[in-house]
């Protein structure tokens, strides 16, 4: 088996490993990684300060035949012996790949090694910055390029007053011209961040526990608490230099178009490679190099196709994009000072061919413009940049996704083969899976391909759920029959009836089994319990925050014993009782209600649980009373009907024992208050929640959750989880924050009133049944023989409890191979 050694495990290195595994898995691969953790998404590094964990950023995956040695940097390459050495071992190779990336450039400023001075490159750097920022007030960033603006955003998220110092005459000088840099500067200064261009640091001193940086401007110095150098990167090519491999004049390992170095058995990819003398600092060209080398190792003849250096980012909330040529024979510019937008389009001398351009403040036209580079100018420029519709489409050969080199033709082919949404296109073509800037274009191409995704609830209502919600709210309609008569057609179905029932329950908070409402419910809501596989039901009483007294615990045990129910502790800190016959449900509820329990709504599209850790009362790490907060939230939102089920959790400290970030809304205690996360989901497609607010007091926290839930209930589609709803908002989390925190739409008072009405009118649904003889008549197996239990329901005993018949066979242990019994001695 051939030996392949890879030096470096960054984003490009990881893409290379995946490509090798796909093309030729016969290689035995060793990866030497300097960092203590496997590959992670360095493009999204700043998300670390916006609530993302190192695990969220991780790109690690198990690949056959690949051994990744973390924290073991390569120290030397012996090309004659074909061996790579580290401090602890030697690794022979048949082929060697340099994927060492780059290092942060720090100008030769005296004092750059002082405590409190950092670079912005790795997760360890970010952790050190975060630790230094705790309890401090001010931070300074050296560098006003892409990396510098990301670092400034990080310091702002840490709550620091932030100053940017940039040596160039304007911000992002490599991507923007002076006018574009000026518009960007206005945006950033409006956020309260200082910007000083044309300035360089000359000396850093420690003064009274802080730092002072002198500059090249007379009389200008900055007193600050920490300094972050984000002034660019340089290729990590020293190892190649030491072993005699050729490097470029400005650094980087020289390669040809096959990415082979001056040694034919050694390749270089990513930021360390200088392909025909050119280093590329973006991930997309690195991915292309990775594919080329993987193909070569599999016997192919691929060559580097060149690189599209286009980029689109949202820096400090400001859209910035640059594509194609920076300058050319003819340039057309558009400036809107009132709205803070700037656009420059570089054209051929006859103004018929688009060569490139830049956008600041509004990058919506970017996907179309980028894909049109080298071709006909799309439509009327004024209409395009002003947000109007433009006639004409892209040619099939136009590249839509530059990160993964996917053309329009490939995407249209996938659509014609059956891809009907963005998620399917991503999976099939990899378009949109890296930076994501081409996702809007994917949506346009779906429409161009004849794919129409209707938001109608069903054939009986052409409106979406959100539109029906508004209709019911405005008109005051209280029944399904009136709604469908006035705004729909036909008699309804099993799609629209439960959806309308949920809307009516959300707005009126009446009992779901009252009158016509009862006929609208699905099976679980109809019996206020979850139907199980053998026709019985489960009973889940609410246990707010997971806190329960011994007396109530005894009641649950006694009820389960008396009605011979299977019991299980759930993941949401409750006790589930299974196997209840429909005629026994009211009897069970009576016992539980008399003991102070109420419905846990495990059957409904409503709040399920608010999980909690033990918080400050018991845990030595707790910084807030998470149990009380969880109980308060669960009691406030119990019974709240919504488009989909809702789950929540409250953790008493950053150790996150309640797993709050996997919930629809999660709360994590801090020393200064609470952090609120929204849009999480631990279901079919797990998603971590996004940080919405930091360090807020309890009143602000509850008020914001009120508005989040009511805005979601008012606008989400049928059966849409909060995770998908947040992802689908035009403007994402920033838009959501603007609506429910800053009240940009002027609807917060309305949302507050809706929640106040819910809290004031809540009533337990179980109690509503057992106190109403008419509702009790529903709970029978046979309408014509109400006293006869269903004889088809059978049970058997498994592990000391009763299970549906047939469970014993399914519960038999499966033994794979010969059992091995290990002694506990010596462990």
Q: What angle do CA 310, 316, 319 make, to 5 degrees?
A: 40
Residues 6+ apart with CB under 8 A from 704: 676, 692, 693, 696, 740, 741
How far does the chain reach from its first CA to its final CA, in angstroms?
Answer: 36
In order of 111, 144, 154, 162, the CA distances from 228 in angstroms are 13, 11, 10, 11
Tell me the longest C-alpha to C-alpha distance in the chain: 97
Q: At what angle do helices 748-761 and 698-715 cross, to 10 degrees?
A: 90
For residue 760, with 0-12 CB atoms within 10 Å meaning exposed, 13-18 middle and 19 or more buried, which class applies?
Answer: exposed
Annotated binding site for [4Fe-4S] cluster: 613, 619, 653, 657
Parallel/antiparallel/unpaired status of strands 221-224 and 210-215: antiparallel
**How far is 160 from 598, CA to CA, in rounded Å?**
47
Q: Answer for the pair 529, 766: CB distance below 8 angstroms, yes or no.
A: no
Structure tokens at 385: 């940049």
In order of 678, 679, 718, the CA distances from 724 in angstroms are 11, 8, 11
Q: What angle do CA 662, 664, 670 make, to 5 degrees?
A: 65
Parallel/antiparallel/unpaired status of strands 646-651 and 221-224: unpaired
Strand arrangement of the beta sheet that strand 273-275 belongs to: 253-255, 273-275, 278-279
**How far is 633 from 617, CA to CA, in rounded Å?**
18
The helix/strand/coil state of 356 is strand
Residues 6+ apart with CB under 8 A from 604: 512, 524, 525, 641, 645
Nearest to 432 by CA among 357, 365, 367, 354: 367
Annotated binding site for siroheme: 657
Structure tokens at 187: 């945006």
In order of 434, 441, 658, 668, the CA distances from 573 in angstroms are 38, 44, 10, 18
DSSP 539-583: E-B--GGG---HHHHHHHHHHHHHTT-EEEE-TTS-EEEEEE-GG
Nearest to 527 by CA among 513, 517, 514, 540: 513
Parallel/antiparallel/unpaired status of strands 690-696 and 673-678: antiparallel
Annotated binding site: 613, 619, 653, 657
């Amino acid at each position: 088996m051939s030996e392949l050694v890879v030096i470096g495990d960054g984003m490009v290195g990881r893409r290379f490993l995946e490509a090798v595994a796909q093309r030729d898995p016969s290689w035995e691969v060793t990866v030497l990684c300097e960092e203590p953790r496997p590959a992670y998404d360095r493009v999204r590094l700043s998300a670390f300060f916006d609530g993302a964990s190192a695990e969220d950023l991780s790109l690690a995956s198990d690949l056959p035949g690949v051994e990744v040695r973390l924290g073991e940097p390569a120290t030397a390459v012996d090309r004659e012996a074909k061996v790579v050495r580290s401090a602890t071992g030697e690794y022979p190779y048949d082929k060697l790949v340099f994927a060492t990336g780059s290092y942060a450039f720090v100008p030769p400023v005296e004092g750059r090694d002082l405590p409190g001075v950092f670079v912005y490159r790795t997760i360890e750097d970010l952790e050190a910055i975060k630790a230094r920022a705790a309890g401090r007030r001010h931070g300074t960033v050296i560098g006003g390029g892409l990396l510098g603006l990301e670092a400034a955003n990080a310091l702002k998220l840490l709550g620091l007053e932030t100053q940017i110092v940039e040596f160039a005459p304007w911000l992002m000088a490599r991507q923007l011209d002076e006018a574009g840099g000026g518009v960007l500067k206005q945006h950033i200064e409006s956020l309260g961040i200082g910007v000083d261009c044309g300035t360089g640091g000359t000396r850093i001193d420690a003064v009274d526990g802080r730092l002072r940086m002198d500059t090249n401007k007379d009389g200008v110095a900055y007193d600050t608490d920490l300094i972050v150098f984000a002034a660019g990167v340089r290729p990590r090519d020293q190892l190649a230099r030491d072993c005699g491999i050729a490097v470029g004049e400005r650094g980087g390992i020289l390669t040809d178009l096959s990415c082979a170095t001056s040694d034919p058995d050694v390749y270089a990819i990513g930021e360390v490679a200088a392909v025909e003398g050119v280093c590329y600092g973006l991930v997309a060209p690195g991915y292309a190099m990775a594919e080329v080398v993987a193909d070569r190792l599999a016997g192919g003849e691929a060559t580097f196709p060149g690189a599209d250096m286009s980029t689109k980012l949202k820096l400090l909330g400001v859209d910035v994009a640059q594509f194609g040529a920076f300058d050319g024979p003819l340039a057309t510019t558009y400036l809107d000072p009132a709205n803070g937008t700037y656009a420059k389009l570089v054209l051929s001398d006859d103004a018929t061919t688009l060569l490139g351009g830049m956008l600041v403040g509004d990058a919506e036209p970017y996907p179309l413009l980028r894909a049109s580079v080298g071709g006909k100018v799309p439509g009327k420029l004024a209409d395009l940049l002003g947000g109007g519709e433009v006639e004409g489409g892209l040619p099939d050969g136009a590249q839509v996704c530059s990160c993964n080199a996917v053309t329009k033709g490939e995407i249209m082919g996938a659509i014609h083969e059956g891809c009907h949404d963005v998620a399917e296109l991503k999976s099939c073509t990899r378009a949109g899976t890296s930076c994501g800037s081409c996702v809007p274009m994917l949506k346009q191409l779906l429409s161009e391909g004849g794919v129409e995704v209707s938001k109608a609830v069903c054939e009986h209502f052409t409106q979406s759920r959100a539109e029906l919600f508004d209709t019911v709210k405005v008109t005051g309609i209280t029944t399904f029959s009136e709604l469908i008569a006035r705004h729909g057609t036909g008699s309804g179905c099993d799609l629209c009836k439960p959806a309308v029932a949920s809307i009516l329950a959300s707005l009126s908070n009446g009992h779901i089994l009252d009158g016509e409402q009862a006929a609208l419910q699905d099976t679980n809501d109809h019996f206020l319990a979850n139907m199980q596989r053998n026709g019985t039901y489960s009973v889940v009483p609410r246990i707010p925050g997971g806190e329960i007294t011994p007396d109530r615990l005894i009641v649950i045990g006694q009820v389960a014993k008396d009605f011979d129910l299977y019991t299980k502790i759930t993941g949401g800190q409750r006790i589930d009782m299974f196997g209840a016959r429909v005629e026994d449900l009211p009897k069970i509820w009576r016992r539980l209600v008399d003991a102070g329990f109420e419905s846990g709504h495990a059957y409904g599209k409503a709040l399920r649980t608010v999980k909690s850790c033990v918080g400050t009362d018991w845990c030595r790490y707790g910084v807030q009373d998470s149990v009380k907060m969880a109980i308060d939230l669960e009691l406030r939102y119990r019974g709240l009907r919504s488009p989909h089920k809702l789950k929540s959790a409250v953790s008493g400290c950053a150790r996150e024992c309640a797993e709050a970030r996997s919930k629809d809304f999660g709360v994590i205690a801090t020393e200064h208050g609470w952090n609120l996360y929204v849009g999480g989901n631990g279901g079919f497609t797990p998603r971590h929640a996004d940080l919405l607010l930091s360090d807020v007091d309890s009143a602000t926290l509850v008020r914001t959750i009120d508005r989040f839930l009511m805005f979601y209930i008012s606008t989400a589609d049928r059966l849409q989880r909060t995770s998908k709803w947040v992802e689908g908002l035009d403007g994402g989390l920033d838009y959501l924050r603007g609506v429910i925190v800053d009240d940009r739409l002027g609807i917060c008072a309305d949302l507050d009133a809706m929640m106040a009405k819910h809290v004031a009118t809540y009533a337990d649904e179980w109690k509503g049944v057992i106190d109403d003889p008419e509702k009790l008549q529903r709970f029978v197996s046979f309408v014509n023989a109400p006293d006869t239990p269903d004889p088809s329901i059978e049970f058997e005993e498994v592990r000391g409890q009763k299970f549906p018949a047939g469970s014993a066979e399914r519960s038999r242990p499966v033994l794979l191979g010969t059992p091995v019994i290990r002694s506990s001695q010596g462990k």
